[in-house]
Structures are given as C-alpha cells and as structure tokens.
Structure 1
Amino acid sequence: MHSTRRDNVVKLSPSQTADEILAAVGGPSNVKEVTHCATRLRFVLADRAKADKAAAQAVPGVITVVESSGQFQVVIGNAVAKVYDGLPGDLTSEASDRTSPTGGGAGTKNPISRLIDVMSGIFGPLLGVMAAVAMLKGILMIATELDWLSATSTTYAVLFAAADAFFAFLPIMIAATAARKFGSNMFAAMALAGSMLYTQLIGVNLIIDGEPGKMPLQAYLNAGNPVDFFGIPLQLPSYTGTVIPVIIAVWGLSWLERGLNKVMHEAVRNFMTPLISLAVMVPLVLLTIGPAATWLAEGIADGLMWVYDLSPLATGALLAALWQVMVIFGIHWGLVPIFINNIATLGYDTLKAAIWPAVMGQAGAALGVFLRLKSRKTKGLAGSATLSAVFGITEPAIYGVNLPRKRPFFIGITAAAVGGAITGAFGAKVYGYALSSVLTLPLGFGDPLGLGSTFVPFVIGTAVSLVLAAVGTYFFGFSRETLAADRAEYEASRADAVAGEPGAQPAAEVMHANSLVAPASGRVVDLAQVADPVFSSGAMGPGFAVVPDSGEFVSPISGTVVVVQDTGHAFGIRSRDGLEILVHIGIDTVKLAGAPFRDAVTTGTVVRAGDHLVTADLDEIRRAGCDPTTAVIVVNTGTATGVDLLAAGPVEAGAPALAIQH
C-alpha cells in the first residue's frame, strides 16, 4: 500500500481543497470550463499536459481522478458542491464566452464524448433536488396506499404540489442548465421552455362553443378545435416532464443568439437579441422542433421497451452489471435522459429499476470489505463508503474500496447482474426518477397505473444484490497476501495504540517482540541455505529467506524506504529505532534489468510491516534461469543483541518470521 496524503490526518476546508485541486489542474488559466455532478468536479482543460493527476489525487478529500469523455474528473463524493463553491467565481459563474453550443471544449471530442459531456452538464446540477422531490412522491404514494393519508385531502394536495411541481416544470429546469451548457441566455431559454408549457397550462382568449372564453391551447386543440399559426396547423403535444424537446430547443436558441449578437449593436443587443430570438424560436419550436422531438422521445421509449420485451431477464442483468462500469467512465449520463423520458412518456420505467441492484452490489461489496478486514483505516473507509453507497453515491465505494482490491468490484458486478435479472424477469417498475438508494425504493411502490404492483420483486432484486455481494466479498474477495497485509497493518496500529499509553513499551517492541515479517507467501528457509555465498555466509548480517510462491512482496518491518534499486529487485528499509533491513528478491536477478518487477515503492515512502513493496513475475524470473528465493538481511542491528528465526516451512506474507532481541 502506497502512502498518500489521504492517509494522513489532514483536514482542509472546502475552499482550501478547491485551491489545491485548482493548482493541480494547472491553475485558473488552464480551465476552460468546470461543472459538477453528484460526486465529481468535471474540468475541461485548455492543456492536459499542465495538469498533475498524481497531485490532484493526493489532495485530502479527493477520492480519485478519472479522465473520461474529454474531461479531467476529480471524484470527491458528497462534499463536491461545497468544494465547487470554493472555486473562483469567474470559473463557476455563467460565462457564455467560455462555452460553445456543443458544450465546453467540445471541439476536441468525438460525438459520443460530446453527448456525454452535454448530458452530464445538463442533468448533474439537478440530481439532488430531483432525488428529494422523487422521494417525497414515493412517501406520498406509500401514505395513500396504506390509508395514512387521503389522496383527496387538501393536505395531500399541498404536499403533492411540493413533490410534483419540479417534474411538471422540468422543461424550465432543464432550460436553465442547458443554457449554461450551450452558452445561451439563461432567462431567454427559460422563457422559451415556459412558452412550451404555457400552451397546455394557461388559458388564453378564444372562441369556445361560439362564445368568448379562456382555455389552454392544448385543451382547445384536444376538444377538436383547429389551432394554427398564420394559417400553419399546430400540433401541441404535452411538454410536462419532457427533456429531449427543450434540450434541442435551447441548443437551437444558442446558435440563433450567437448569430444575432455578432450583428447587433451593443447599445440594443441586450433586448433586441432576446426579442428576435423568442419571436423566432417559440413558433419554430411549437411548429417543428417540439413535435419532432416528442416523436423522437416516444420512438426511443418504444424501441427500448421492444428490446426489453425480447428478454427482460437478460436486459436487467446486463444493465445492472454494466452500470458501475459506465459510472467509472462517466458514460452513464447517456442513459439518464432515457430513464426520465420513459417516465414522462410511459408513466414508468423498467430500465431504471435495474440500477438499484447495480448500486447495492457495490454497497454490499464494500460492506464485505468492512466485515472481513481488520485494519482501522480500511474499516473506516469501507464503513463510510458502504453508508454512502446505500444512500446512492457509489464513487467512494468504487474508487476507495472495491476497485483497488479488484475482486470486490467484480463480485459486486456479478451480484448486481443477479439482482438485475430478478427485477427484469418480474418487470419491476419505478414511477419517478431519483438516485438509486434505500430511501428512493418507494418509487416502485404501489400500482398507480393499474398495471400490477412489482414492488416485491423490485425490493427482492435489490436486497439479493446487496447480500450476495457482501457474502461473496467476505468469503472470496481477498487473496492471502491481502489478508496478511491487512493483519499486519492491524497489529501495527494496535501496537502504536499501546505504545501511546503512559509507561508503555515502544511500539516496535510490542509487535511480535520487534519481529520481522515474511516479505512474501511461500516457505521460510535458513539463510545458510540460500544459493548465494554473500548472503548464506552471514557476511552482510543475520536474517532469513523465503522461497516465494506468490509475486506480491511486502515490507518486513515498519520504517522508511531509504534505498530502491533501479531494477526493482532490492530495497533498503530503516526502522525508527535504527534497524536497517535489506530485502533482496531472487538470486542474480539484477541481470534481468527490472523486467519482472513492477509497481515498486519509491525512496522516501513510509511503510508499515506488511505494506506493499513490489510485484514480481516469478515465472519470468524462473524462465530467465534465476532463483526467486528472497533474502531478508538485518544489515545494521542497531541496539539488537541477537536474532531468532520464528518460522520454518510454509508462511504467509506479513506473518512474523524473525525476532530481534535487545
């Protein structure tokens, strides 16, 4: 395990974190655009070469850094909004001159990357509130189904207004974020979206049944009356809760505004550009863009449901399994509009239902790590990541816990596929959009459309994914080396805790009588049996050797790495009480010029007994005719008076092997 600044007890304020991240990405002048979603700061950089990924990852509070879709994505977790607010205002405020109609910096991206960038920028800022109102809708659904609250009461009406208004006026919310993404005038975009809703919500002066009266245009049309614009027939679909029509409309508005701003004198630009833009775009949207986009949205929904109907089980399993992989690369944003569109056009979505098992698979894997490993640092990280994932934010679990250990991540994916297959096989539905978490499970409750309740299989699929991932990770998620290293770290932390008590012995003496641990799993042999006279003679000092059966090598003692051979086969480590230890991997392996060795620690790294040193390809060492036997030599015994071999025969990495006497 490499030491990073996150391992230290360093706490920064959100503004300090923002300053350090900004410095790591090359400073304000290197930032073309920055937005944030639920967990990440998403930078579009002028020059990627000026950004220091390692420095950004080392900032306290940063979970990891991902480069995807043409963005430099800094994963922070739940505190991302506070860190974003700590960035300079000229970076986070609306700045149309920094944003192109296809999304900031889009010119260097392929079409898929541009689409993902646009969707993340539009929907990311909305997800928090969207989740809140969706949860309120779910709670009201449960309350009415269980007869806790009457759906005809004024109390219900007031609460339902709080829950439903966001979705009823969703095009206006989308218009605001789309305007920022496309570089359009935000208020003109909101007025454009408002006009799309106005036709179906607000009454206008009309002749109704031969008499003057007021009626929304859409209701007037639905009653069989003709609606036209200068003689051109108008079709008025419902835009409530839709996303695709308004995104296309605001994109078109942004192009028109840019053209007008180039020819308008600055004295009249502020009012003439919105005037002409709205006078052109509102009828254009109602005549062409709106209906066409609505038909496109309905076509997408029908097409996906056709695929789903071919094999609901396979579709649910595949979507649940791939979702977290898509999250890693940021491409999951491409599906968010589809989920919302299905709910707007069909009233429900079966695809989104498979995302709950996907989220709970990673939550369960992190829970398995928490339950199995003993290290206090690991438990703290895994525990908080589990809690965060259960409430819908999986990045801390993915990047901080599961993915670095590999097995838990893939076990979580497998468990998600099982849960997704269950939700798919039973046609589980959700009736609103929100982050997938235990709090938003009520979105699948009840049967508001009369299609039959699917809440039970929805919950079962979600629960199976969580439990299966936790159990699978607990029993199969760790190699012997990982468990040994964890045990050594746990024992070291216990020793440090004991050493901190009044009158206690130094920690180095508390832990295994100041022992050295095995640097690798395999078989311990006496130093005299090593086929190198320099080591076997004891000329360099006392010690022991291990014939390894695994290529993962760990530090035999807590201390600082003071020497690392360029070839990666030998390490010098100095403990805090003066012991100097040499770890030499293989006999004559210096001639291999480092080929079998990778992921070596660097000089100056502080390690504990059992921490990672290097990974070696033992087969490659043997094919080259070298002996992989690894010698551990006490080069400078300091105050030690002798050594005793504690183990002989089979041993696991991190297990005590040599005692140092004082």
Structure 2
Amino acid sequence: MAKDYTLLAKTIVENVGGDENVISLVHCATRLRFEVIDRNKVNFDILKQTEGVITAMEAGGQIQVVIGNKVDQVYDAVLKCSHINSDIQNESKSEKKGVLNTLLETISGIFSPMLGVMCGAGMLKALLILCTTFKWLTPEMGTYRILYAAADSVFNFLPIILGYTAAKKFNCSPFVAMAIAMSLVYPDMTAAFSGGEKLTFLNIPVTLVSYTSSVMPIIISIYVMSKFEKLLKRILPEVCKLFLTPLLELMIMVPATFLVIGPIMDQFGKLLASGYTGLVGINPIIAGGVIGLLWPMAVIFGLHWGFFPIVMNNIATLGKDTLFVITGPNNMAQAGATLGVFLKTKDKKLKELSGSAAFSAVLAGITEPAIYGVTLPYKKPFIIGAIFSGIAGMIVAAAGTAIPTVLGTSLLSLPGYIGPGFVGFVIACAIAYFGSAICTYLFGFNDSMLNKNSEKEENTQLNDEITLKDETLSSIVEGEMIPLEDVKDPTFAGKMMGDGVAFKPKSGCVVSPVDGKVIMVAKTGHAIGLKSNNGAEILIHIGMDTVNMNGKGFDVKVQQGQAVKKGDLLVEVDLQEIADAGYDDIIPVILTNTVAYDQIIPMEYGKKEEQENIIELKVKK
C-alpha cells in the first residue's frame, strides 16, 4: 500500500507561508523548490524538524525543501492538499532578489521540470551503449533504432521541451511557445541548414543555424514573447483576442527568432563553449581539481543550476560535455564518505540512515540524503568527500573524458561513459569512493561526534525511541479554552497540522503542558515544539501571523534540547504588543503526531487555570 504523504505535504505548505505565499513550485530529483512572496513567513525551524524532510534552506532565490527519493510523491501530495498547482504564477510582488539569485531561480524553474525525462533518456542511451559494446544489439537493428529514437529525441527536440518550461516560467502561452520551438526544428528548416541553402525573409537574408539540441535561442525567444504577449493582451479587443494573440505571436516571433535572436544567441553559445574549453585547455588538471573541489559547495547552496545551460550549450555546440563529467565523481566521493560513517558508527539510527543514504548515492546518484543527513552535519566526512572530489576531477580532466548527453554518475550509469577517457573516469570514481570511505573510517568520524555535534544531538532528541502511552495534557496558559475549529485560520481550524485545542489567553505566561523536552524553538519566539516523555509531539503556536513581529514582545525562557517539567515557563509574551501589531493572540495547542492516537479527548471548554487538564490522549492498541 502506497504511503500517504498528505500530512507531510500540509505541514510543508503551512511552513512555507501557506498557499497565498507561494508564487511557483517545481521539483527536481530530490527537492521541492518554492518561490515565495515573503521569505519571513517561512518557518525553517519547523521544516527542518519535520519527519520526512531532510533539510530546508534558502538558495538560488528559492525556498528548497529537501525530501530525497520520494520527492515526486510529496510534490503530488502538495498539489492535492493545497491550492498550489504546477502552473501557478502569483501576480503579487515578491521581495527583491539579487541578480544572481534571480538568474539561478529562473534557470532552475526552466530546467528542473524536465530533469527527470532528461536523466531517463540519458540512462537509456547508456544502456544502448552497453548493448552495442557487448554486441547484444547493433545500430542497424530495428530494436536499437526505436530505442535510440526514444532516447535521442529528448535532446534532438530539446527546444520544444524548453519552450514549454520557459513559457511556464515566464507566464505566457506554452502552446504558442512550443509552436515557435517546433518551427526552429521543422524538417524543412533543418534540411535547409544541412544543405547550405540561402534563405531570405522579406528580402532580408536569414542566417541559418542548427537549432536541434540548442538551449539559449528558444529561452530568450520565449522571454521576449512573454513581454509581447502581455502587450497584445492589453491592446487587443476581447472579441478577437483568442485567435489574434497567437496569430501575431507566431507571425512576429518566429521570423524574429530566425533573423535576430537565434543567430545572436548561437554566436554567444559558441563563444561560451569555446571560453569554457579554452579555460580547461590551459591546464586541465588544475581546472578539473578546482571544479571538483568546489562542486560540493555549489550543490549544497543550489548554485550548480547556474552551470546547467553551459552543459547543454556544450552538447549543442561541441557535441559533448566535460563539465558535468568532471563533477560526476563527487557523487561517488559523498557516497564513499557516507559509507565510512556507516561502517564506523555503532549508533543504530545513524547506521540505518547512513546505510540507506550511501546505497542511494552510489547506486542511483541521489546524494542529498548523504550530504544533508550524514556528511555535512559532521563536517569532516563532507570535507574528505570534497577533497577526493577534487582529486577525481583532476584525473577526469587529464583523461579527457566527455559524453554527448546529460548523465548522472552512479553504478547504473557508468556504461554511459564508455568512450575516450572511460578508463580514467572509472579510476577517478573508484578513488573518490574508496578513498573517501577509507579516510572517513580511519580519521573522519567517530561516535563521540554524536554528542559534540549540536545539530545531530537535536535530531537525536527528535527521534528518541519512546513507547507511546496514554497521557493527559495540562493547561499552557490562564485563559479560555476553545475548540480548535473556532480559530480564524484555516490551517489550524481544519486540523491540517493535527488535532488539539486553542486558548484565548488572559496572561502572557505560557507554560509546558507535559514533562518532556523542547524539540523546536522558533527564532521569533512565536512557536515552541515539545516532545513529552510519553511520546506526545506538541506544537504551541502563540498568535496568528505573529512571525511577522520578528520576536518583538516574545521573551523565550527555554532552548532547544532542554528538559522541562509540566508547568515550567516556556515563553513570556506581551499580549498588548500583539494587539498593537494588529494580530490575533489566540494560541493553538496542536498534537502533530495525531495519527498515533486512537482518541484525542478535549476536556470541558471554558476558562482554565494553569495545571488544569485540557486534553486526554488514548494511544492505539
């Protein structure tokens, strides 16, 4: 039976600021990538502590929630349980970003939706290379030709896919965009280029170039089209807008692309490709070493997306790429470092986490669980992996390995690298994997780091194995207890984060309802997460939208990881400050692990004093 990710999806949506805060949402191989209106509404603390989320960060102008291999299922759950959809483009203005963040966010938005099919096509090419190498198939066979068409068509007709994703990103008609892209790879036009024909448009000479597998011409063309489309929608009469808008777009944009945009971007692409190859050619060993060493840092900050157009441009102009090949062994290095932790640790939970993460990284090339869950929190394994990534990069660059497609690096994809420099690439991957594993095992990790590393200590506290027991929660504040359904917030009232009750406080002293530990403290002080000694996971959320107060009026008395007793003071809050800021001071008390209980029974509603019982919990038998 498939796992239900609805609760996880609802928690993620709530903590990125809700539906109304999301401008767009896409996902790549392991991450949900949100573009939001207001970054201050994103609660990174709760996201990072949420079971099912590896980590959350702001990078490349996006809120990135790292899920791992199940990201597509969580993505689908987000779309089902919210008003967010894959086509959303909120017209509200988001906070200003820098040029680099804007560029990276745009590139990610265009390329990440197509990453799955590109990787699949690349893997199919790799399998076909394996089949021809071992003489199982020959290029003349119908089986080979059909499968090769399936694999190569993605790259040959890449402008059409990019036209669609760029249109989604630039918020214009995707079908008109695809039609423009189709004209660039139309058989008559490709034949004219191959035959060296001289074409004119209204007596203006056309510079024909090859647009198959091209990247930048169609992206720039669709960006210009998006501006033109907005103009047309403003000036055209409603009665003829439906057909006249695409008519004018095709009549103007296709010739403009063939005459101006295409040739200019083709020359720019060639300069970019020659610049990269020239830089690597000066000293490939040094260049490969620097790229390999710095690549892990680029990955964790999401900066690797900025290189994707360069890689695609290399393939389109040179017929091959070396950049992603040089960085490929980084997957093996991080997998090896994670394997070293797996072999060294005696901690049951860390062994389980590192084992599955190491297997996923080496077999499928999915490294986020390894990086964020194992190597990065302990630092030394990550650094060792980066060093061996640099060493491997030097070897790959010196060997001159290159491939004509986009291909992740894993055991399954190694056949795709068969060709010039293949032996050097395999040696580099082996050194990266075994070198990182051995060095991490010998001196890069020991279990004493479990106590020294505060982040891992917090995660351990979150995941302590506790046998759930029946329990009774006491009042958190003096005031009137009301049903959760009466809270004027649909997320809490709809129990999207879990069942519970709420308080209309008369006092600003918020106390613990249980004996247990503090597992989360929001930086702004408006939310506290607790885990009781009997297994109840509790979120106390002080006020609605009070995150926008940035901590003003909140005096937090506890810290994450601290043990507390029932009645211990957690936060002193100035209720007048909340009122003056224009926010509701209602305090929901949520059982975030609601599904673990058979019954959640609120006591009688009305006025409550501290230490009065408020909820009775009955575990499932």
TM-score relative to the length of structure 1:
0.67
Q: Secondary structure at the match of 1:92?
A: coil
Asked whether 1:291 is paired with 2:267, we answer no
Counterpart in 2 of 1:360?
332
Counterparts of 1:599 and 1:427, CA distance in 2? 53
Q: Deviations over 1:479-525 (max 9, x none)?
A: 57327889xx9xx99xx99x99xxxxxxxxxxxxxxxxxxxxxxxxx
- Aligned counterpart in structure 1 of residue 300 of structure 2, from 319, 325, 328: 328
Asked if 2 retains the 8 angstrom alpha-carbon contact of 1:321 and 1:413, the reply is yes
Asked whether 1:188 is paired with 2:188, we answer no
Asked whether 1:266 is paired with 2:228, we answer no
Counterparts of 2:410 and 2:423, CA distance in 1? 16
Asked whether 1:61 is paired with 2:33, we answer no
- Aligned counterpart in structure 1 of residue 154 of structure 2, from 155, 166, 169: 166
Residues 1:405 and 1:36: Cα distance change in structure 2 (over 3 Å): same
Asked if 2 retains the 8 angstrom alpha-carbon contact of 1:170 and 1:242, the reply is yes
Report 1:216-365 matches (<5 A): 216-220=188-192, 222-365=194-337
- Aligned counterpart in structure 2 of residue 25 of structure 1, from 4, 16, 28: 16
Q: Secondary structure at the match of 2:17?
A: coil
- Aligned counterpart in structure 1 of residue 403 of structure 2, from 430, 448, 457: 430
Report 1:538-617 matches (<5 A): 601-604=561-564
Counterparts of 1:154 and 1:484, CA distance in 2? 61
The amino acid across from 1:231 in the alignment is N
Counterparts of 1:479 and 1:223, CA distance in 2? 65
Report the count of equivalent residues: 473
Asked if 2 retains the 8 angstrom alpha-carbon contact of 1:373 and 1:483, the reply is no
Counterpart in 2 of 1:399?
372
In structure 1, stretches of 5+ residues that fail to align are 1-10, 202-215, 447-452, 501-558, 563-573, 577-597, 606-662
Query: What is the deviation of 1:560?
Result: 5.2
The amino acid across from 1:464 in the alignment is I
Q: Deviations over 1:229-263 (max 9, x none)?
A: 11111111111111111111111111110111111
Query: What is the deviation of 1:477?
Result: 1.2
Counterparts of 1:395 and 1:365, CA distance in 2? 13
Query: What is the deviation of 1:280?
Result: 0.2
Counterparts of 1:64 and 1:77, CA distance in 2? 10
Counterparts of 1:28 and 1:223, CA distance in 2? 53
Report 1:72-83 matches (<5 A): 72-83=63-74
Q: Secondary structure at the match of 2:289?
A: helix
Asked whether 1:420 is paired with 2:393, we answer yes
Counterpart in 1 of 2:86?
93
Counterparts of 2:60 and 2:380, CA distance in 1? 26
Counterparts of 2:409 and 2:261, CA distance in 1? 32
Counterparts of 1:382 and 1:71, CA distance in 2? 27
Asked if 2 retains the 8 angstrom alpha-carbon contact of 1:64 and 1:74, the reply is yes
The amino acid across from 2:429 in the alignment is T
Counterparts of 1:52 and 1:220, CA distance in 2? 56
Report 1:645-660 matches (<5 A): none
TM-score relative to the length of structure 2:
0.72
Asked if 2 retains the 8 angstrom alpha-carbon contact of 1:84 and 1:92, the reply is no
Counterpart in 2 of 1:470?
437
- The answer to which of 416-425 and 38-47 deviates more is 38-47
Counterparts of 1:469 and 1:42, CA distance in 2? 30
- Overall identity of the aligned pairs, in %: 41
The amino acid across from 1:53 in the alignment is F
Counterparts of 1:30 and 1:415, CA distance in 2? 41
Q: Secondary structure at the match of 1:44?
A: strand
The amino acid across from 1:407 in the alignment is K
Asked whether 1:118 is paired with 2:106, we answer yes
Counterparts of 1:420 and 1:460, CA distance in 2? 11
Counterparts of 1:461 and 1:110, CA distance in 2? 37
Q: Deviations over 1:15-67 (max 9, x none)?
A: 22111101112211122222212111112222222221111112221000111
Counterpart in 2 of 1:136?
124
Residues 1:171 and 1:71: Cα distance change in structure 2 (over 3 Å): same
Query: What is the deviation of 1:599?
Result: 8.5
Counterparts of 1:385 and 1:120, CA distance in 2? 24
Counterparts of 2:36 and 2:130, CA distance in 1? 46
Q: Secondary structure at the match of 2:400?
A: coil
Counterparts of 1:599 and 1:309, CA distance in 2? 54
Residues 1:481 and 1:145: Cα distance change in structure 2 (over 3 Å): closer
Counterparts of 1:50 and 1:324, CA distance in 2? 29
Asked if 2 retains the 8 angstrom alpha-carbon contact of 1:96 and 1:184, the reply is no
Q: Deviations over 1:395-430 (max 9, x none)?
A: 111111111111111011011111111101111112
Q: Deviations over 1:425-465 (max 9, x none)?
A: 1111122102222222222213xxxxxx2110011111110
Asked if 1 retains the 8 angstrom alpha-carbon contact of 2:347 and 2:447, the reply is no
Residues 1:273 and 1:318: Cα distance change in structure 2 (over 3 Å): same
Counterpart in 1 of 2:593?
none
In structure 2, stretches of 5+ residues that fail to align are 468-514, 519-531, 535-557, 566-621
| Cα RMSD (Å) | 2.9
The amino acid across from 1:388 in the alignment is S
Counterparts of 1:399 and 1:333, CA distance in 2? 18
Q: Deviations over 1:587-610 (max 9, x none)?
A: xxxxxxxxxxx98732349xxxxx
Q: Secondary structure at the match of 1:65?
A: strand
Counterpart in 2 of 1:205?
none
Asked if 2 retains the 8 angstrom alpha-carbon contact of 1:137 and 1:164, the reply is yes
Query: What is the deviation of 1:218?
Result: 4.0
Counterparts of 2:194 and 2:411, CA distance in 1? 41
Counterpart in 2 of 1:454?
421
Query: What is the deviation of 1:267?
Result: 2.6
